[in-house]
Amino acid sequence: MLTIALPTGRVFSEAAELLAAAGLPASSLASPGRKLVFEEENFRYILAKPSDVPLYVSYGTADLAFAGGDVLQESALPLVELLDTGRGRCSVVVAGPAPLAERFRGHVSERMWLKVATKYPRIADNHFSSKGAQVDIIHLHGSIELAPKLGLSDCILDIVQTGSTLKANHLEVLEHVSDVSLRLVASKKSVALRWNEIRAVSRAIRRCGEVLP
Amino acid sequence: MNRLPRGCANVGGGLAAAMEECKRVFLSLFERWGYHPFLPSGLQLLESSWERLPPLFRQKLIAVNSPYGEPCCLRGDITLATVAYLASHHSPEERPLRVCYSDRVYARAEKPRLSMESFQIGAELLGWERQGADAEMLFLLLRMLDAIGLEKSVLLLGDATFLAKAVSEVESSVAERIVAALRKGSLIEYSELLEEENIPDFYRKILQCIPDLHGGPEVLDEAARLWGKGAPLLSLRNIVSTLTALGYGDRIAVDLSLVRELGYYSGPIFDVYSENYGQSLGGGGRYDRLLSLCGLQGQAMGFGLDLQHVASLSRFRKRPPSVMAWFANLSPSDALQRAERLTTEGTPLEMSWCGDRASSLRSAAHRGCSSWVDLSEGSTLDLSAETDGLVLPGKEDSQC
């Protein structure tokens, strides 16, 4: 039995579609309802909150998982990234009100002690510290775009797909941090002990990823 | 409530008992094979550790000042102390030298763990020039894993030389990035690097195949075919054939993408995995370079396992229920003499000094004891079989 963890939310349907297209028995994922665990033939699927998915894999509860690059970077857990599916593409960016753009174009000293609201404190810390900028990171769990508007922060670090939410909140991209996409990851233990099964699934997903639009 | 410093933990109960059992099994097995126990100092001088440890080890060291004002680090690694000790305390004629240990090590916490201290068991075999040492150590390691009930654990075997040679013709900064991508498990970044960077075709082809060089002994043939003459696989081949001949063929897997610190390890390397835990339980390999840094010639082979993880998966985690021996109002000396007879027969027991039989029985049931003995009569009650039907006295009967 191979256990695959899938993130609920934005990218769940893309992950389920990839599994089905790869020929894995995953019909139950088409309409999951409120169930969180499904078994079909030799596969078990676990539906988990996106930020929890890397933990399931790292601890070996799941052999494989789909996870966004942002979640993987933030978790920094030891696991094996097998494949970039190319799905769920978006970017991690620093965004803020237009007047702040000048400070981001200038010397690093202009960015010192900015207040940065984010769901990704680790990514934010790595990003700003790699540039030598000391900032004040405010860890929020949602509605990040509100923070500058309400004076809680100067700017935000968040994922952006179309940019419409930023626009609606009068924010603009100040700095690109990294590209994000849906990745297939595996537990180190499963790579060590069940490589042939892991490789077969990975190859099937890679193949269908190349074919699907 | 006694609060502990962040990153520290007290270990007690069944886990501590399991750790002690595993440690006993490990030390007694290795001592039977000529490995001498070693107890390193808890503090190491930074000046002695810094140059000899590879960068990834150094980053994890926890620096402190000794009360005498010397810059030190908490012991982050036992191998270095072992090698330094053996280099200065034994003459070349005494080699090979064999050492085993069980002690705490301290390192900066890394996800998913929050703890900065861990318990390590390990062994080192130093100063042997010919074949046999690698296989000896891995054979004993597998024997130990069997003895503690990890019969399904697997040794994942690689060779640091293979990857080092595969990147030897690649520009050094690119080579470092390639190795780093493999080390952090990002096969995506790894393949992107191979596509983007200027790498000689012969080596690019080998590097592209490395993540797939994973499986049984046939992988070694595949790697040899790819490499042609001079494939750096002889030591690994010897290990695989020896362990297979010893009946451990199904407990080993080859993975030529396995990475440990390249500047430190210099030959076969390995990790230990068990089905019930997501990360490696530990590992080791050949580290001849450290030996030469300490002024010793020859090969060095060693491993370290995380005792806490190993014990939590071991057969000792399900602690055998003990026997409760009720003193039955005998004098303490009589009761202890009778109880001692039971322990010399090999029965682990716990004394009960409760004033009445009912309280003692109730206490035994609450503690999960498998049986209860009345020391005056010598009668035994099997609690594991009878607990369901046993009418335990209520609290009001208790005089404990």
Tell me, rounded to whole angstroms, the distance of Cα B258 from its chain centroid. 18
Task: Report the percent of chain B where pLDDT is more than 90.
Answer: 61
Bridge pairing between strands B71-74 and B63-65: antiparallel
Mean pLDDT over A188-203 rounds to 94
| In chain A, residues 32-61 whose CB comes closer than 8 Å to chain B | 55, 57-61
Instruction: Answer whether residue A62 shows pLDDT above 90.
Output: yes
| Shared-domain flag, residues B264 and B295 | yes
Query: CB under 8 Å to B40, separation ≥6 — which residues?
Result: B75, B78, B81, B82, B85, B101, B103
Round to whole Å and give the CA distance between A134 and B159.
42
Bridge pairing between strands A155-160 and A115-118: parallel
Instruction: Answer whether residue B397 shows pLDDT above 60.
Output: no
CA distances from A187 to A38, A60, B29, B306 (A): 19, 6, 32, 18
Query: CB under 8 Å to A170, separation ≥6 — which residues?
Result: A97, A98, A149
Among B316, B350, B374, the domain boundary falls at: B316
Of the segments A26-30, A151-155, B347-351, B393-397, which one has the largest average pLDDT value? A151-155
Among B316, B341, B374, the domain boundary falls at: B316
Judge: A59–B278 Cβ closer than 8 Å, yes or no.
Answer: yes
Count of Cβ atoms closer than 10 Å to residue A129 Cβ: 11
| Shared-domain flag, residues B350 and B295 | no
Instruction: Answer whether residue B387 shows pLDDT above 60.
Output: no
* Cβ neighbours of B111 in A, within 8 Å: 58, 75-78
| Shared-domain flag, residues B217 and B269 | yes
Test mutation, A188, A198, A205, chain B, max B CBs within 10 A: A188
Judge: B278–A84 Cβ closer than 8 Å, yes or no.
Answer: no
| Shared-domain flag, residues B213 and B126 | yes
Query: Both tokens of residue A111?
Result: 């960015």
Query: Both tokens of residue A205?
Result: 């997903």
Higher pLDDT, A29 or B242: B242
| Shared-domain flag, residues B93 and B69 | yes
Q: What is the tens place of the pLDDT at every residue in B175-191?
A: 999 999 999 999 999 99
Is residue B8 included in any domain, yes or no?
no
Mean pLDDT over B331-347 rounds to 90
Burial of B10 (0-12, 13-18, 19+ CB in 10 A): exposed
Round to whole Å and give the CA distance between B92 and A194.
44
Question: Would you place residue B31 in the very low, low, confident or very high pLDDT band (cuts 50, 70, 90)?
Answer: very high
User: Which pLDDT belongs to residue A116?
Assistant: 97
Is the CATH number of domain A2-89+181-211 3.40.190.10? yes
Cβ(B394)–Cβ(B387) below 8 Å: no
Q: Is residue A189 classed as helix, strand or coil in its secondary structure?
A: helix
Query: CB under 8 Å to B378, separation ≥6 — which residues?
Result: B338
Cβ(B190)–Cβ(B178) below 8 Å: yes
Higher pLDDT, A146 or B230: A146
> What is the number of CB-based contacts under 8 A between chain A and chain B?
72
Q: What CATH number corresponds to the domain at position B329?
A: 3.40.50
Is residue B3 included in any domain, yes or no?
no
Let me know how long chain A is: 213
Test mutation, A63, A181, A189, chain B, max B CBs within 10 A: A189
Is residue B108 included in any domain, yes or no?
yes
Query: CB under 8 Å to B386, separation ≥6 — which residues?
Result: none
Query: Both tokens of residue B212?
Result: 């797939």
Instruction: Answer whether residue A100 shows pLDDT above 70.
Output: yes
User: Which pLDDT belongs to residue B121?
Assistant: 97
| Shared-domain flag, residues B135 and B276 | yes
| Shared-domain flag, residues B210 and B151 | yes
User: Which pLDDT belongs to residue A98?
Assistant: 94
Expressed as residue numbers, the domain containing B388 is 320-397
Instruction: Answer whether residue B385 shows pLDDT above 90.
Output: no
Cβ(A56)–Cβ(A73) below 8 Å: no
Question: Would you place residue A10 in the very low, low, confident or very high pLDDT band (cuts 50, 70, 90)?
Answer: confident
Mean pLDDT over B92-97 rounds to 86
User: Which pLDDT belongs to residue B75?
Assistant: 93
Judge: A58–B278 Cβ closer than 8 Å, yes or no.
Answer: yes
| Shared-domain flag, residues B146 and B47 | yes
Q: Tell me whether the CATH fold assigned to A2-89+181-211 matches the one assigned to A90-180.
A: yes
Q: What is the tens place of the pLDDT at every residue in B114-141?
A: 789 999 999 999 988 788 889 999 999 9
Burial of B141 (0-12, 13-18, 19+ CB in 10 A): buried
Mean pLDDT over A151-167 rounds to 95
| Shared-domain flag, residues B26 and B91 | yes
Instruction: Answer whether residue B15 shows pLDDT above 90.
Output: yes
| Shared-domain flag, residues B309 and B328 | no
Instruction: Answer whether residue B333 shows pLDDT above 60.
Output: yes
| Shared-domain flag, residues B294 and B355 | no
Answer left, alpha or beta for residue A97, where phi above 0 means left and psi between -120 and 50 means alpha: beta
Question: Would you place residue A211 in the very low, low, confident or very high pLDDT band (cuts 50, 70, 90)?
Answer: low
Burial of B376 (0-12, 13-18, 19+ CB in 10 A): middle
Least confident of B167-171, B195-199, B299-303: B195-199
The secondary structure of residue B247, as a DSSP letter, is I
Tell me, rounded to whole angstroms, the distance of Cα B2 from its chain centroid. 29
Beta pairing partners, A67: A183
Is the CATH number of domain A90-180 3.40.190.10? yes
Count of Cβ atoms closer than 10 Å to residue A44 Cβ: 16
Mean pLDDT over A33-54 rounds to 93
Question: Would you place residue B343 in the very low, low, confident or very high pLDDT band (cuts 50, 70, 90)?
Answer: confident
Is residue B264 included in any domain, yes or no?
yes
Q: Is the peptide bond before B112 cis (omega within 30 degrees of 0)?
A: yes
Distance from the B210 Cα atom to the nearest Cα atom in chain A, whole angstroms: 13
Q: What is the tens place of the pLDDT at every residue in B350-383?
A: 999 998 999 999 999 888 888 999 999 989 998 8
Q: Which residue of B has its CA nearest to A182?
A: B188
Instruction: Answer whether residue B396 shows pLDDT above 50.
Output: no
| Shared-domain flag, residues B253 and B325 | no
Task: Report the percent of chain B where pLDDT is more than 70.
Answer: 94
Count of structural domains, chain B: 2
Q: Is residue A151 classed as helix, strand or coil in its secondary structure?
A: coil
Among B316, B348, B374, the domain boundary falls at: B316
Round to whole Å and give the CA distance between B300 and B297.
9
Judge: B273–A192 Cβ closer than 8 Å, yes or no.
Answer: yes
- Answer yes or no: is the ipTM higher than 0.85: no
Mean pLDDT over B59-69 rounds to 94
Flag whether residue B191 sits within 8 Å of chain A, measured between CB atoms: no
Is residue B97 included in any domain, yes or no?
yes
Domain borders along chain A are 2-89+181-211, 90-180
Q: What CATH number corresponds to the domain at position B202?
A: 3.30.930.10
Higher pLDDT, A133 or B395: A133
Is residue B345 included in any domain, yes or no?
yes
Instruction: Answer whether residue A183 shows pLDDT above 90.
Output: yes
